[in-house]
Chains A and B, each alone.
Chain A
Amino acid sequence: MKDNSRAKIFFAIPYISWLAVFVIVPIGLLIYQSLTNVQGSFTLANFHEFITSNVYLPMAFNSVFYALIITLITFMISFPAAYVLSHLKHRQLWLMLIILPTWINVLLKTYAFLGLLSKSGIINQLFSTFGLGTHNLLFNHVSFIFVAVYLELPFMLLPIYNSINEIDPDILKASRDLGAKPINTLSQLVFPLSINGIKSGIQAVFIPSLSLFMLTTLIGGNKVMTLGSAIELHFIVTQNWHMGSTIAIILILAMAVTMYFTRERGKRK
């Protein structure tokens, strides 16, 4: 027994070290930075500024607002798609096609959209051949949401697909047998039985969407300012690490709140 627990500790060493160096210490540093000012003395001024200045609260609202929209759209696409997918014959192949793009670097995909949506891009070329003229497709709210949804979609779809796939097909048969139309089965069985997958999907999409910053610049053309872009600004441009850390801590708190509300309740077998 003793050897066993010693072995366990031994095998946990790499993971614990990783955790310490790349998670615990950085968070500690963030907290320290957020609670100090340029002179290095402890203060709550950063948090005070976050709440009182009329810059950060609208940004926070923006972040949550856009993350909500992105999450909602990906869910509305993913749930029906996952349901259909789970009934397809060659679902492994379809699933592969959905997973495949996630293997490509996000920055690459973002640049691909710049090419697609730009003034001389393929979509505008199509528009002009049909006599519809060229349009500004980039650097606005819609393009930002569109690309974000594209990037996040697999992370919503996969957990929902997995949980729908785990539903015993006989349960769906039984529902039909008892007189349920597909819509009844969907609302009374498929949806509640895949709720844990839906929650994981929301976590996987909403939380990263809170801190999107690259997309806001590249695709949104800085028309959309989120907390993510503010952090970038403070660390890279204004070099105010204390304020940047404060925003980061507030983001982390927001993520924790999200995790709490989407946690799995009552393990079901």
Chain B
Amino acid sequence: MDKKVLPVIEFKNVGLSFDNNTILKNVSFEIEAGQFYTLLGPSGSGKSTILNLISGQLSADAGEILFDGKVINNIPAESRRVNTVFQNYALFPNMTVFDNVAFGPKLKKLPKDTIKAKVREMLALVKLEAFENRAIQELSGGQKQRVAIARALANEPDVLLLDEPLSALDYKLRKQMQSELRAIQKRLGITFIFVTHDQEEALAMSDWIFIMNDGKIQQNGTPVDIYDEPINHFVADFIGESNIVNGVMKQDYLVNFVGKDFENLDAGMRPNEAVEVVLRPEDLDLVPIEQGKLVVTIADQSFRGDFYEITAIDDDGNEWKVQATNPSSVGARVGLDFGPEDIHVMRFNESEDDFDARIESYEGE
């Protein structure tokens, strides 16, 4: 199904440290052309560093960075075929909207008419046709964001880097820009690499997500893969809401936690291996006691608009977060139900390669 395409960007064992602080440890990955990638992680996880290494604002201590199959470690930023949309927009305050967008094409010494056409095309793409002659100071946050995108795209980069570009916008504008960015990426067909710490944003926009923590890629995959099969505690906790408990994998397809055995869909581990078990709050159902797999007491309930967030405590004292469409009542004793497919088992310290191989071994059948 996947014929091997040459990756547009490749990192081979890239490392970087500042004053004895390791920022990136031995990072390797490949980026294919034409996809929407997201680097997702908490602040300080190294995601912006990767962006700066691709754009050339930083240079790596170790390893190789390849662009279209060629090592670019020593190519200066101004000569790389990537452009960046900065978090605080970084627009040039001494220039109009037109001159901001024309900055790159003018440096390339393109003919005047070509530049004009290019700028108009880009401003149309971000729906700012009428703003050509505005000063930057006259624009709203959302408009500045659009100019920044147009300016970066006017240089016709092969890869567009976006460094938390939406974090300064309010919720509604952000949602709108998310879908517009996605639409622009699809229309131009170029590679987007988007950095964010917002997991919801990452899940909504990306073809492929890299989850970063501690200078390492923790897991990469499609949004659905990562959500459904988190590799470790960090990923499970960072992506979405999770209930994480300790358990023991008794044998293939049978896991024990909170003192009971449950059927599940995981395999390929040592018999009686200690594991962590993840159950997503939206996969848990509150049912009458006799129908539940566990008996719990409702401890807290809060209305979240489209659902109720309920905290329930089982008889062993474990807390369970549940998302329910119907309200319950605090203090009530109810049953907690979930199916074998809702139980996700994670091994301790499993590498991504081992994880992929193990999943392949029993899902490939």
Q: Does A237 belong to the interface (CB within 8 Å)?
A: no
> Number of residue pairs across A and B with beta carbons under 8 Å?
64
* Residues 53-110 of B at the A interface (beta carbon under 8 Å): 55, 57, 77-79, 82-84, 86-88, 90-94, 103-104, 107-108
In the complex, which range does the number of interface residues on chain B fall in? Answer: 20 to 34
Q: Pull 21 A–B residue pairs with CB atoms less than 8 Å apart, ordered by A.
A: A168-B88, A168-B90, A170-B86, A170-B88, A171-B90, A173-B84, A174-B84, A175-B92, A175-B103, A176-B57, A177-B55, A177-B78, A177-B83, A177-B84, A178-B151, A178-B152, A181-B78, A188-B92, A189-B92, A268-B94, A269-B137
- The answer to the question of B155 belonging to the interface, with a C-beta cut-off of 8 Å to chain A, is yes
A14 CB-CB contact with B under 8 Å: no
Q: Mark B118-145, 1 if CB is under 8 A from A, else 0.
A: 0000000000000000000100000000
Closest to A268 in B: B93
- Quick one: CB contact mask for A167-201 with B, threshold 8 Å, 1 for yes? 01011011111111100100011001100000000
What is the chain B residue whose CB lies nearest that of A267? B137
The minimal Cβ–Cβ distance linking B229 to chain A, given in whole angstroms, is 36
In angstroms, Cα B76 to Cα A181, docked, is 10
B88 pairs with A179, CB closer than 8 A: no
| CA of A269 to CA of B152, assembled, Å | 23
Complex-state Cα separation, A193 to B90, whole angstroms: 13
The residue that A173 contacts in the complex, of B90, B93, B94, B103, with Cβ under 8 A, is B90
Chain B stretch 155-184: residues in CB contact (< 8 A) with chain A: 155
A83 to B137, CA, bound (A): 25
The distance from the CB of A163 to the nearest CB of chain B, in whole angstroms, is 12
Bound Cα distance from A175 to B99, whole angstroms: 12
B residues near A, CB below 8 A? 55, 57, 77-79, 82-84, 86-88, 90-94, 103-104, 107-108, 137, 151-152, 155
Interface of A is mostly: helix
Residues of A within 8 A of B107 (CB): 178-180, 184
- Complex interface: chain A residues within 8 A of B86 (CB): 170, 173-174
| Min CB gap B240→A, angstroms | 32
- Chain B residues contacting A189 (CB-CB under 8 Å) are 92, 94
Contact present for B78 and A176 (CB under 8 Å) = yes
Contact B77 A176 (CB under 8 A): yes
Contacts of B137 in A (CB 8 A): 268-269
* CA gap between A128 and B151 in the complex, in Å: 61
Query: What separation, in Å, do the CA atoms of A173 and B57 have in the docked complex?
Result: 7
| CB interface residues, A 85-136, toward B, < 8 Å | none
